[in-house]
């Protein structure tokens, strides 16, 4: 195969922040029209490297060579003008504006008199969407679009309107369902055909094999591997990422099912949860699969007392309970680690210590009824040790931690409540493989220790690999139950899209 | 990631130190400048004078610190002050001074409860307390017919005018309130809940914190402290008039933010607010001693507030 011409090279990039060397002589090179995966654990330097490339950060030393020319990218605007665009994991669209306005954000067309030329912009927006075969009305406000559609508009803005040469995609599929991911890949292949080079950042290693030509691995701010995708295995990549063999990716199912702990009968919530009934047993991991929006989160939040308009029966260890507030659920021994770590899981400006004890302040009172700060620190340190959290001390603010470590703080927080039922909603979303494996093992250990673990997950291999039993939801209803032996991605998918009961 | 030792970490430590104690340093500097410019500043009489002057604002700022840490604001403390003062003057001839104080405290608590409940239900705190402030101002005028009402008890007045061990009584009251508030905020579940709802109200709710109770209690504290400061303020004057306390909320907010409390909530300390209160007090004292006109004093005060808060904010932005 003839080698395509090189389009971009990053050579010996170094970047330090106070006290930390974030990038240490990192080099990558890209050829025209290829899709290159960029992987590494959280904190490995992927985002920093991309911020240097797109001009958000200035580098300390190193060179960027674009189409054979040494270039200086000292602001995102310069980067964009040179043809380097980025689509972030979190949407950067203005939801109150229309599709057309978003497409031309930052370079609105104007008429001679200096006013915005709406007509020309609309016409161009229609053309732009057409080149990508997107069927979206340019006058719709962005807030009416799905996340996937918003992302398509962003990609369209980068590739068609800004006519970029290199497109960086930072975990674009993390909020998408399978069908949308397929569509996203289709569009990526089309862009590749058109000669656009894509740098694809992801934590989902399976995707690398679907879409990329080559993979660059970073570890601790330095290059740690570069491979041709077709010639390597998932284990090769993992080894380069974590520098050690992770052993079994999913832990062995070696628990024994105990007594029923949580029984749910005919749970309804508004029109999002319809007559859901299930039982969670001690010693077991119960998985909840389904598409995004199937009502799994709402089901868990309803059990936890965090939702209005809930009806149905909930029994804790055989006794009927009705939680009207999370406070009551926690007291009864139910814990819920929510999907959205940033907005629901942790107070970002709090220290690790304060977050760890937030759900059980009773546990750190002294004999006079005041908070015992020494005891609090001990508790936090205990969970840092048990969960192997990477932090210098318990006083560090959680917002400075990586996603995986934040998840561990959340787990520690709920362990400290002595929960009998622990609900994890998408526990591995956006965290790196090393931390994922640790979370899986931890859930298994908890189950073996007699806790009823419930895991909501949209990643099918994960649900199948981790759960003992799997509930599949579709449109607010339970569509069926599968044991881990009989579960396949296919069968789950059939149920999840509303297929027949089994 | 690799740590770079020595130089970097020393600079970081200095940065952390000035971040933690920056406002204290500024305060010490201000006192030093004052002592050099006007040696009379250090006279015990002048110092107790400053302390007496700051007590009213100090007590209001203590309440404001609770409110701002909880992620809200209370623009009505000045008019709660006035309303409680008017009502206490009004009922004192019938109830006696102790009864009057009791009525004042209950009224302050009720107004705070009302603010807190409405904010809990989703009213923006800014609007709710602004409207409450306007409403109370009207009530004060109606009650007094626009004229001052005098206190009818000399025992009551003594609360604002007498001394114990050469220090004004109100200074003891202020210090006591700060100590209690520091313990409540730093060492109780309620205090931690205040930080939590200010840090992230949804996380707090999902962690089993009673948001409703916390929100309402914070505003009750603010209302009651406004009533206590009204006792001191009106006892000092021996009367109350319907324009008294009108802009007290601005000094209370200023002292709180100078003390480094985040306007967005979740972070702050009572002791640092106290430094903010003292800083403002020392500042007006110096300006008075050096003969700066009251008009120019406003300008200087405004600049100092901008300077103190901006230096703090710029540092934070840089560190992130």
Which of A18, A221, A306 is the closest to B206 by Cβ?
A: A306
Give the model's pLDDT for residue B311.
75
* pLDDT above 90 (res A74): no
Kindly give the pairing relationship between strand A20-31 and strand B2-3.
Answer: antiparallel
Q: What is the pLDDT of residue A247?
A: 57
- A349 in contact with chain B, both atoms CB, cutoff 8 A: yes
CA angle at A75 for the pair A72 and A80, rounded to the nearest 5°: 85
Q: In chain B, which residues have their Cβ closer than 8 Å to the Cβ of A21?
A: 1-2, 4
Q: Is the pTM of this model over 0.95?
A: no
* H or E stretch at A237: helix A234-242
Nearest residue to B74 via CA among B117, B132, B137 = B132
Residue A459, pLDDT > 50, answer yes
In angstroms, the Cα distances linking A40 to A47, A62, A201 are 10, 21, 9
Contact residues, chain A, for B206 at CB < 8 Å: 304, 306, 326, 336, 338, 344-345
Q: Which residue of A has its CA nearest to B209?
A: A327
B12 contacts A370? CB cut-off 8 A:
no
Residue B10: its pLDDT value, please?
60
- The residue that leads in pLDDT, A244 or A91, is A91
> pLDDT per residue over B135-177, tens digit each?
999 999 999 888 999 999 999 999 988 899 989 999 999 999 9
Cβ distance of B199 and A350 shorter than 8 Å = yes
* Start-to-end Cα distance in chain A: 49
Confidence of residue A244 (pLDDT cuts 50, 70, 90): low
Name which of A22, A325, A373 is nearest B1 (Cβ-Cβ): A22
Asked whether the beta carbons of residue A358 and residue B1 sit closer than 8 angstroms, the reply is no
Give the C-alpha separation, B148 to B154, whole Å. Answer: 17
Highest mean pLDDT among A170-179, A375-384, B281-290, B293-302: A375-384
Helix (H) or strand (E) holding A287, with range, is strand A285-290
Whether residue B108 contacts residue B224, with contact meaning beta carbons closer than 8 Å, is answered with: yes
User: Residue B99 pLDDT more than 50?
Assistant: yes
Q: How far does the CA of residue A447 sit from the closest CA of chain B (Å)?
A: 22
pLDDT (tens digit, 9 = 90+) per residue, A307-354? Answer: 999 999 999 999 999 899 999 999 999 999 998 888 899 999 999 999
Q: What integer is the mean pLDDT of A29-54?
A: 88
10 Å CB burial of residue A422 (0-12, 13-18, 19+) is: buried
Check residue A8 and give its pLDDT: 92
Q: Taking residues A153-171, what's their average pLDDT?
A: 88
- B194 to chain A: closest CA residue: A358
Report the pLDDT averaged over residues B281-302: 90
Residue-averaged pLDDT of chain B: 90
Please tell me the total number of residues recorded for chain A in this structure: 502
d(CA B50, CA B162): 15
Mean pLDDT across the stretch A204-227?
89
Q: How confident is the model at residue A355 (pLDDT cuts 50, 70, 90)?
A: very high
Which residue of A350, A352, A356 is the best one to mutate when testing the B interface, meaning the one whose CB has the most B CBs within 10 A? A350
Whether A258-333+420-436+445-502 and A6-242 are alike in CATH topology: the answer is yes
| pLDDT at A76 (0 to 100) | 85
- Domain locations along chain A: 6-242, 258-333+420-436+445-502, 343-418
What's the rounded Cα separation, in Å, for the pair A420 and B6?
47
- State whether residue A399 sits within 8 Å of chain B by CB: no
Q: C-alpha angle with apex B284: B281 to B286, nearest 5 degrees?
A: 105
Q: In this structure, are residues A60 and A422 in contact, taking their beta carbons and an 8 Å threshold?
A: no
Average the pLDDT over B114-118 and give the result.
97
Q: Tokens for A295, please give them.
A: 């009502």
Mutant choice from A308, A332, A334, A349 vs B, greatest count of B C-beta within 10 A: A349
Is the confidence at residue A119, as pLDDT, over 70? yes
Say if CB B240 and CB B149 are below 8 A apart.
yes
Q: Mind spelling out the 3-state secondary structure of chain B?
A: CEECCCHHHHHHHHHHHHHHHHHHHHHHHHHHHHHHHCHHHHCHHHHHHHHHHHHHHHHHHHHHHHHHHCCCCCCCHHHHHHHHHHHHHHHHHHHHHHHHHHHHHHHHHHHHHHHHHHHHCCCCHHHHHHHHHHHHHHHHHHHHCCCCEECCCHHHHHHHHCEECCEEHHHHHHHHHHHHHHHHHHHCHHHHHHHHHHHCHHHHHHCCCCHHHHHHHHHHHHHHHHHHHHHHHHHHHCEECCCCCCCHHHHHHHHHHHCCCCCCCCCCCHHHHHHHHHHHHHHHHHHHHCCCCHHHHHHHHHHHHHHHHHHHHHHHHHHC
Contact: A19, B12; criterion CB under 8 Å: yes
B contact set with A (CB within 8 A): 1-4, 8-9, 11-12, 183, 186-189, 191-193, 195-196, 199-200, 202-210, 262, 266-267
Chain B residues with CB inside 8 Å of A344's CB?
A: 202-203, 206
Name the pLDDT band for A249 (thresholds 50, 70, 90).
Answer: confident
Residue in chain A nearest B193 by alpha carbon = A358
CB contact under 8 A, B192 and A354: yes
Is residue B238 very low, low, confident or very high in pLDDT (cuts 50, 70, 90)? very high
- Tell me whether residues B203 and A345 touch, CB distance under 8 A: yes
Partner residue opposite A371 with nearest CB, options B188, B206, B262:
B188
Residue pair A294/A276 in contact by the 8 Å Cβ criterion? no
Residues 6+ apart with CB under 8 A from A192: A33, A34, A35, A198
Neighbours of A230 (CB within 10 A): 9
Question: Cβ–Cβ of A348/B206 closer than 8 Å?
Answer: no
Write out the H or E segment, with its range, that includes residue A119: helix A118-131
Q: Chain A residue closest to B7 (CA)?
A: A19
Q: What is the pLDDT of residues A404-431, one digit of tens each?
A: 889 999 999 999 998 999 999 999 887 8
Q: Which residues of A166-195 are buried (b: 16+ CB within 10 A; e: fewer)?
A: bbbbbbbbbbbbbebbeebeebbeebbeee
Cα nearest neighbour of A345 on chain B:
B203
Closest CA to A292 of A150, A148, A92, A483: A148
Residues in chain B: 320
Name which residue leads in pLDDT, A266 or A432. Answer: A266
- Interface contact A494, partner B, CB < 8 A: no
Q: What pLDDT score does A271 carry?
A: 87
Query: Could you give the residue ranges of the DSSP H alpha helices within A420-488?
Result: 433-448, 460-466
pLDDT band at B74 (very low <50, low <70, confident <90, very high): very high
Contact between A328 and A299 under an 8 Å Cβ cutoff? The reply is no
A46 contacts chain B (CB < 8 A): no
B313, burial (CB in 10 Å: exposed 0-12, middle 13-18, buried 19+):
middle
Q: From CA B60, how far away is CA B77, in angstroms rounded?
A: 7
Question: Measured between CA atoms, how close is B193 to chain A, in angstroms?
Answer: 8
DSSP state of A251: P
Region A256-273: mean pLDDT is 92
Distance CA A55, CA A75 (A): 4
Confidence grade of residue A111 (pLDDT, cut at 50, 70, 90): confident
Give the residue among A119, A21, A23, A111 at the shortest CA–CA distance from A62.
Answer: A23
What residues contact B135, with CB distance under 8 A and at least 6 apart?
none
Cβ <8 Å between A358 and B209: yes
The nearest CA of chain A is from the CA of B1 a distance in Å of 5
Q: Does A354 touch chain B (CB under 8 A)?
A: yes
Which pLDDT tens digit goes with each residue over B207-237?
A: 999 999 999 999 999 999 999 999 999 999 9
Q: What is the least distance, in Å, from the CA of B61 to any CA of chain A? A: 23
How many CA atoms lie less than 13 Å away from A502 in the CB half-sphere?
Answer: 16
Structure tokens at A489: 């991605």
SS3 A150: helix
> What pLDDT is stored for residue B52 in this prediction?
93
* Percentage of chain A lying above the pLDDT 70 cut: 96
* pLDDT band (50, 70, 90) for residue B4: very low
The token pair that represents A444 in the structure block:
């298994």
The string of DSSP codes covering A154-210 is HHHIIIIIS--SEEEEESTTTT--HHHHHHHHHHHHHHHHTT-EEEEE-S-HHHHHH
Q: Is the pLDDT of residue B16 over 70?
A: no
| Both tokens assigned to B151 | 């206190």
Q: Distance (Å) from the C-alpha of residue A343 to the closest C-alpha of chain B?
A: 7
**A352 in reach of chain B (CB within 8 A):** no
Name residues whose C-beta falls within 8 Å of residue B287's C-beta, 6 or more positions apart in sequence.
B296, B297, B300
Phi/psi at B115 (5° precision): -55, -50
Q: Is the pLDDT of residue B70 over 80?
A: yes
The CATH homologous superfamily of the domain defined by A258-333+420-436+445-502: P-loop containing nucleotide triphosphate hydrolases (3.40.50.300)
Q: Which residue has the higher pLDDT, B58 or A133?
A: B58
Spatial contact of A41 and A428, defined as CB atoms under 8 Å apart: no
Is the pLDDT confidence value at A39 over 50? yes
pLDDT over threshold 50, residue A455: yes
pLDDT at A476 over 70: yes
Interface residue A186 vs chain B (CB under 8 A): no
- Domains of chain B by range and CATH? 44-305 (1.10.3470)
DSSP symbols for A49-104: HHHHHTTSS--SEEEEEETTEEE---SHHHHHHHTEEEE-SS----TTSBHHHHHT
Q: Does residue B320 surpass a pLDDT of 80?
A: no
The chain-wide mean pLDDT, for chain A, equals 88
Contacts with A24 from chain B: Cβ below 8 Å: 2
- For chain B, give the percent of residues with pLDDT over 90: 69
Record: fold of A6-242:
Rossmann fold (3.40.50)
pLDDT-derived band of residue B5, with 50, 70 and 90 as boundaries?
very low
SS3 A146: coil
Number of CB pairs, chain A paired with chain B, less than 8 A apart: 95
**Rounded to 5 degrees, what are φ and ψ at B313?**
-65, -45
pLDDT band at A42 (very low <50, low <70, confident <90, very high): low
Q: Among all residues of chain A, which has the CA nearest to that of B262?
A: A349
Model confidence at B294: pLDDT above 90: no
Partner B contacted by A358 (CB < 8 A): yes
Positive/negative CA dihedral, A267, A272, A278, A279: negative
CB A299 within 8 A of CB A269: yes
Report residue B133 as tokens. Answer: 């402030």
Residues of chain A in contact with residue B187, where contact means CB-CB under 8 angstroms, are 370-371, 373
**d(C-alpha B230, C-alpha A286), whole Å:** 60
- Residue B276 in contact with residue B61, Cβ under 8 Å? yes
Give the pLDDT mean for A204-208.
85
């Amino acid at each position: 195969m003839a080698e395509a011409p090189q389009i971009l090279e990053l050579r010996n990039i170094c970047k330090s922040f106070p006290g930390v060397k974030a990038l240490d002589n990192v080099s990558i090179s890209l050829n025209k029209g290829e899709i290159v995966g960029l992987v590494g654990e959280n904190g490995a330097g992927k985002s920093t490297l991309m911020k240097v490339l797109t001009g958000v950060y200035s580098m300390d030393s190193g060179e960027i060579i674009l189409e054979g020319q040494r270039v200086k990218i000292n602001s995102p605007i310069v980067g964009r003008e040179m043809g380097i665009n980025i689509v972030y994991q979190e949407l950067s669209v203005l939801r109150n504006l229309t599709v057309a306005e978003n497409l031309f954000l930052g370079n609105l067309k104007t008429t001679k008199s200096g006013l915005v030329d709406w007509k020309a912009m609309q016409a161009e927006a229609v053309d732009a969407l057409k080149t990508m075969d997107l069927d979206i009305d340019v006058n719709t406000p962005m807030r009416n679009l799905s996340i996937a559609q918003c992302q398509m508009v962003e990609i369209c803005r980068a590739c068609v309107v800004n006519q970029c040469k290199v497109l960086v995609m930072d975990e674009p599929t993390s909020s998408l369902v399978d069908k949308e991911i397929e569509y996203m890949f289709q569009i990526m292949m089309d862009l590749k055909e058109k000669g656009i080079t894509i740098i694809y950042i992801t934590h989902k290693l399976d995707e690398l094999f679907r879409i990329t030509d080559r993979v660059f691995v970073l570890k601790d701010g330095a290059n740690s591997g570069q491979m041709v995708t077709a010639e390597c295995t998932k284990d090769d990549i993992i080894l380069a990422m974590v520098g050690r063999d992770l052993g079994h990716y999913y832990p062995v199912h070696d628990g024994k099912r105990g007594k029923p702990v949580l029984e749910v009968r005919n749970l309804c919530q508004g029109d999002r949860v319809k007559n859901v009934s299930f039982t969670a047993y001690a010693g077991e991991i119960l998985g909840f699969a389904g598409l995004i929006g199937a009502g799994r989160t709402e089901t868990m939040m309803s059990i936890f007392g965090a939702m209005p308009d809930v009806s149905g029966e909930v029994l804790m260890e055989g006794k009927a309970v009705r939680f009207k507030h999370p406070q009551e659920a926690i007291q009864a021994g139910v814990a819920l680690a929510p999907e959205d770590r940033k907005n629901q899981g942790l107070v970002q400006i709090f220290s690790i210590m304060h977050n760890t004890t937030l759900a059980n302040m009773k546990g750190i009172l002294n004999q006079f009824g005041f908070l015992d700060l020494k005891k609090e620190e001990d508790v936090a340190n205990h969970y840092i040790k048990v969960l192997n959290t990477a932090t210098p001390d318990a006083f560090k603010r959680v917002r400075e931690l990586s996603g995986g470590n934040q998840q561990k703080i959340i787990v520690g927080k709920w362990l400290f409540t002595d929960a009998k039922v622990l609900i994890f909603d998408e526990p591995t979303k956006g965290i790196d493989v090393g931390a994922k494996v640790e979370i899986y093992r931890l859930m298994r250990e908890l189950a073996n220790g007699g806790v009823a673990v419930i895991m909501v997950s949209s990643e099918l291999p994960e649900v199948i690999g981790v759960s003992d039993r799997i509930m599949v939801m579709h449109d607010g209803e339970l569509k069926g139950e599968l044991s881990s032996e009989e579960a396949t991605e296919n069968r789950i998918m059939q149920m999840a899209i509303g297929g027949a009961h089994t | 990631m690799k740590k770079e030792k020595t130089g970097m970490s020393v600079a970081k430590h200095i940065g952390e130190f000035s971040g933690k104690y920056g406002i204290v340093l500024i305060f010490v500097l201000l006192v030093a400048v004052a002592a050099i410019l006007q040696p009379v500043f250090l006279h015990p009489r002048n110092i107790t004078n400053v302390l007496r002057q700051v007590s009213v604002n100090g007590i209001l700022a203590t309440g404001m610190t609770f409110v701002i840490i909880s992620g809200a604001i209370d623009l009505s403390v000045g008019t709660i002050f006035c309303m409680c003062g008017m009502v206490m003057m009004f009922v004192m001839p019938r109830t006696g001074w102790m009864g009057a104080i009791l009525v004042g405290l209950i009224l302050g608590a009720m107004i705070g409860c009302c603010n807190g409940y409405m904010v809990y239900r989703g009213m923006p705190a800014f609007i709710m307390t602004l409207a409450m402030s306007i409403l109370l101002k009207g009530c004060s005028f109606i009650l007094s017919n626009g004229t001052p009402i005098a206190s009818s008890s000399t025992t009551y007045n003594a609360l604002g005018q007498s001394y114990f061990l050469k220090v004004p009584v109100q200074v003891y009251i202020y210090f006591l309130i700060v100590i209690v508030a520091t313990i409540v905020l730093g060492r109780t579940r309620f205090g931690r809940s205040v930080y939590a709802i200010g840090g992230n109200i949804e996380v707090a709710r999902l962690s089993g914190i009673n948001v409703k109770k916390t929100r309402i209690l914070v505003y009750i504290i603010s209302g009651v402290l406004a009533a206590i400061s009204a006792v001191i303020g009106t006892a000092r004057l021996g009367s109350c008039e319907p324009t008294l306390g009108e802009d007290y909320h601005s000094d209370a907010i200023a002292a709180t933010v100078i003390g480094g409390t985040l306007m967005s909530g979740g972070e702050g300390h009572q002791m640092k607010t106290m430094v903010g209160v003292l800083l403002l007090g020392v500042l007006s004292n110096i300006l008075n001693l050096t003969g700066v006109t009251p008009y120019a004093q406003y300008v200087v005060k405004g600049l100092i507030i901008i300077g103190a808060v901006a230096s703090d904010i710029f540092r934070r932005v840089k560190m992130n």
